[in-house]
Amino acid sequence: MSALAEPKIDCHCHILDPQRYPYASDVKYKPAGQEIGTEVQFNALCDAYAVEHALLVGPNSGYGEDNRCLLDVIARGKGRFKGIAVVHNDASAEELAELKTQGIVGIAINATYHGTAYYKNLQPLIRRLIELDMFLNIQVEGDQLIDLAPLIENSDVKMLIDHSGRPIPERGLSQPGFKLLCAFGRNERAVIKLSGLAKFSRTAFPYDDTWPYVQTLADSFGPGRCIWGSDWPFLRAPDRLDYGVLLSLVDKLFPNAQQRGKLLWDNPRRLFGFAKRSLAT
C-alpha cells in the first residue's frame, strides 16, 4: 500500500466556486483560472484518491468572512467534510456556537494575509474558542509566530499550525520562528499540518529543501499530533501541482506504514471527530 491508495483525511483544502458563490467585493485577492476548485471537482478528486474525509478551510482570498460556500458544502457532504471558518475578530460566542453546530471545528487566523498586528486584540475570541472546545488555526511564515506568541503560548486554546509554519529554508533550522514552533510541539494542545511544502520551498518539486523542516517537526510534535493536507486547489502556486504527485511525497517522507496511517487517518479522525459517513441519498 501507499499514500495514494490508503484511506486518508485531507486536513487543508479549499472550495472556491465564484459562479455559485460570488466572491466578496472587498477582498484583496480573487482566485481565478486553475485556482478555482468546486465542490463537484473536489468530491471527484476525493473518490479518485481514497480521501474519505476532508477539513475544508475557509479562504481569506475570495470569501473573507463569508462562510456560506463552506457551510453549504459541509451540509451536503453527508459527513465527509468538516470546516475551519474565517470570522471577524470580535465574533460572538453565539456566532461561534452556531458555526460549531454546522460542522465548524475551528477558526482560522492568517498572518501571511493580514499581518500580525491585525490580531493584536484576539484574546476575547481565543477565550470563546476555549469555552467551546474549538481550534485556533494559525497560518504564519518566517518569524511571525513570535509576534503571535503572547496571545497563545500561555493559553489553553487548541492550536492547528498550517503548512509546517512556513519557515524560510535558507535561514536554517535554528531560525527563531521555527525554533519556537518546535517548542510548541511539546504542548499537547498543538497540532502541526505537514502541508504546503510548495508555499515555502525555494526549489521545484520535490521541494527537498523543506524536508529537514518536515522531519524536525515530525520529531518535535510526535506521531500523535501531525496531520497532512494537500492545500488543493493550490492558490498562488508557483508551478502546476498534482494531487497524486503530492501524495507520493508522503511515501518518501514517511515510508513507515504505521506512521503514515497516523498522519493520514488516525490523528485527524480522532482530533476532528469524523465518523463513518452516510452514503444514503
User: Per the structure block, which three cell numbers stand in for 121?
Assistant: 486584540
How many degrees, rounded to 5, is the angle at CA 83 between CA 33 and CA 21? 40
Spell out where the chain has E strands. Answer: 8-13, 51-57, 81-85, 104-110, 135-139, 158-161, 190-195, 226-229
Place of cell 463552506: 70
Q: Give yes or no for a contact between 83 and 70, defined as CB atoms under 8 angstroms apart.
A: yes
How many whole angstroms separate alpha carbon 4 and alpha carbon 1? 8
The sign of the CA dihedral 204, 210, 212, 218 is: negative
pLDDT recorded at residue 188: 87
pTM of the model: 0.96
* Whether pLDDT at 280 is above 50: no
The superfamily CATH assigns to domain 8-272 is Metal-dependent hydrolases (3.20.20.140)
pLDDT in tens, 12-61: 999 999 999 999 888 889 999 999 999 999 999 999 999 999 999 999 99
The residue extents of the domains of the chain are 8-272
CA distance 68 to 74: 10
Cell of 103: 460542522
